[in-house]
Amino acid sequence: MKNRIPAPNPAVAALLKSQQMRSLVAERTEAARATYQQIVAKRTGLLASSTHVDTFLGGRRNDRWIGRLTVEAPYAASHEFGTRSGAHIHPGAHDLNTVLNQLGTL
């Protein structure tokens, strides 16, 4: 028996690409940015101020709106995931996971 992928439901496909869905995704992405800006460390404020959000059509078939939160500070990855220099380990903050967990409760 072959694995058959059913044809997309036209109503669901239209909903996923609608402007209302784009607005909902953009609203949720903005909420993620606001949450990140609240919880991130603020020694210089660069992490919080370097966040950007956008929406775009994506997914495996480019059939739905995707929201993306980007943090562009030069040290954003080391802040998020941590670093190791010699025997000393600086643990990551994992702020983006915290944001995702909080979004799940909204």
And the tokens for 98?
Answer: 């915290």
CA–CA distance from 60 to each of 12, 32, 57, 63, 67 (Å)?
Answer: 15, 23, 10, 8, 15
* Predicted confidence (pLDDT) per residue in 47-83, tens digit: 999 999 999 999 988 999 999 999 999 999 999 999 9
Q: In the 8-state DSSP scheme, what is residue 95?
A: H
Q: Provide the residue ranges of all domains of the chain, joining segments of one domain with +.
A: 12-100
What is the model's pLDDT at position 105?
86
65 - beta bridge partners? 57
pTM as predicted: 0.85
Query: Mean pLDDT score of the chain, rounded to an integer?
Result: 93
- Per-residue confidence (pLDDT) for residue 63, from 0 to 100: 92
* Local confidence band at 1 (pLDDT 50, 70, 90 cut-offs): low
